[in-house]
A and B are shown apart, each in its own frame.
Chain A
Amino acid sequence: MLWKAGSAGLPDRICLPVIPKAEAQGQMRVLTGCPGKLVIMIHAYSMYGTNLVLDVSSGAVHVFDDTAFRVLKCFGQDGRLEEEKISKLREEFPEREIREAVDEIRTLISEGLLFSGDIYEEHLPQWTRNTVVKALCLHIAHDCNLRCKYCFAGTGEYLGERSLMSLEVGMRAIDFLIENSGNRRNLEVDFFGGEPLMNFDVVKGIVHYARTRERDCKKNFRFTITTNVLLLDKDKRDFINEHMDNVVLSIDGRKEVNDAMRQRLDGTGCYDRILPLAKTMVEERGHENYYVRGTFTRNNLDFGEDVLHLADEGFEQISVEPVVASADSGLDIREEDIPRACAEYKRLAKIYAERRASGRWFNFFHFMLDLEGGPCIAKRLRGCGSGTEYLAVTPEGDIYPCHQFVGQPRFLLGSVFKGFSGNPEREEFCNSNVYEKPECRACWAKYYCSGGCAANAWKFNRDIKKPYRVGCELEKKRIECALWIKAKEAR
């Protein structure tokens, strides 16, 4: 049987003999507890009749025909052929076909594309040595003109006082980012909230200030804004289109789904107001550099219909994502919902691939995958960079690891005025990578997922190194779907 990570409980680390090619290249490394051995991991699965094999450490993705897929099961965990298993296949497949498949598998092994060893852990210190700040999420408003039922920020105020960021704080945040960015040229600023359009003059002031500082500091700022669209009039759209690299427009999908969750203060839904505004915005941006972004809850586990609804309304850059909600909310995606949600991703993947092949193309955020490079292994080991490269700033200038941690005193890391306070929690985030998380270390999806969301891990497990299991299961299914779509489109 193929060895596959992810069995119940904490999987054992697999320690295997070093393969010949690795020895020849001098890649033998000593891992704690596994002297002279490398961790080898593959993930093999079938979806809609396609057999996919992911070699985890190299990132190579292969499509196997049925013969090769069966032959692969005759290779042991160390990449060596077990002849006794091969003999049983002769009852089903011609000897010549079996030997061809064996030779092809051995070729992939010799090329380091299958059963390759994990050679990255020893490089981690050099990739984490000079961590600098490169991105800020500015909470322009701790206030909101909606009362979305699943909002992680309470009613937009993050369970504190309602407040708006002043231009002084915003400008100081820009200075803080520059001062702490080292030699990094590309810096990112996300305008967030609450609802940032409620304080748009400050947004404009921050953008103009950052642009003046770009020149003398040799930095390049990229701006994003996330909005509920209600206040997206022409003046704001014009400014956003001129200055923002990306815009995230919040809408959940079908009208009845959206309006059940995204309500005004008087309890009415916002769909009828925001849909035409969002369409106008997207049209003005040439259908590029935006996302319409929805949230699904356990009330709409048929969320594929919301994705397709948004596509049918003409949007091409779509994201619909699982809610992050506490157990007492009634909206959270629960363990018992996992099969249904995974089935829905799989169903959506098929329709998605069919539409893309038939002239009804659209892009779904969680099915996006770059197999031709993408982020390097250093990035993949560490993920989003929350608490280190990426920080959230409140209207008062307080610093938190990310927007999801804002308002939790334990995670107050300092302020843009006084700098980092020395809170030891920051060290936890600095040390966070897939090797520090036992479940992630043994997971086949680690170099796509990169260790998951620290905020979810804390919310559900009170430990940023212990990922949120529901999130893991959904992420793995999404990656399987994304790989299948890649394979289908590669033919």
Chain B
Amino acid sequence: MKHIKTINGKTLNRDIKKAGCGECQTSCQSACKTSCTVANQKCEKE
């Protein structure tokens, strides 16, 4: 596109049937105990 650039590949509304396995690391907005917020976690399936 000429006027718009989409900067992420995957989106949340794909593969929602596969969501929710629960294996991902516990997150916390504060790093006082863990190493990630929800925003920067990795999916364990990927």
Residues of A within 8 A of B (CB): 57-65, 67-68, 97, 100-101, 104-105, 107-108, 112-113, 116, 119-120, 123, 126-127, 132, 134-135, 137, 184-186, 188, 190, 192, 222, 224, 226, 246, 248, 250, 289, 291, 293, 319, 321, 324, 365-366, 368-380, 383-385, 389-390, 402-403, 447-450, 452-453, 471, 475, 479, 482, 486-487, 490
Contacts and interface: CB of A to CB of B under 8 A. Distances in A.
Contacts of B27: 375, 379, 383-385, 450
B10 to A, nearest CB: 5
29 contacts: A62-B5, A62-B6, A64-B4, A100-B3, A101-B3, A104-B2, A112-B11, A113-B6, A224-B33, A365-B31, A371-B7, A371-B9, A372-B8, A373-B10, A374-B39, A375-B27, A376-B18, A377-B12, A377-B16, A379-B38, A380-B38, A383-B27, A403-B32, A447-B12, A448-B38, A471-B29, A475-B29, A486-B8, A490-B7
Contacts of B6: 60-62, 108, 113
A239 B45 CA distance: 29
A132 B21 CA distance: 11
Contacts of B21: 376
Q: Interface of chain A, helix or strand or loop or mixed?
A: mixed
A370 B40 contact: yes
Contacts of B36: 368
Contacts of A120: 12-13, 16
B5 to A, nearest CB: 5
B7 to A, nearest CB: 4
B1 to A, nearest CB: 5
B12 to A, nearest CB: 4
A188 B36 CA distance: 13
Counting from the closest, the 6 A-B pairs by CB-CB distance are A378-B20, A371-B8, A368-B40, A376-B19, A68-B3, A135-B26
Contact of B26 (A104, A126, A384, A449): A384
A188 B11 CA distance: 28
B34 A224 contact: yes
Q: Interface of chain B, helix or strand or loop or mixed?
A: loop
A192 B42 CA distance: 23
Contacts of A112: 11, 13
Nearest to A474: B29
Contacts of A222: 25
Contacts of B7: 61-63, 371, 486-487, 490
B39 A321 contact: no
B19 A377 contact: yes
Given A127-B20, A376-B18, A65 B3 contact: yes
A190 B33 contact: yes
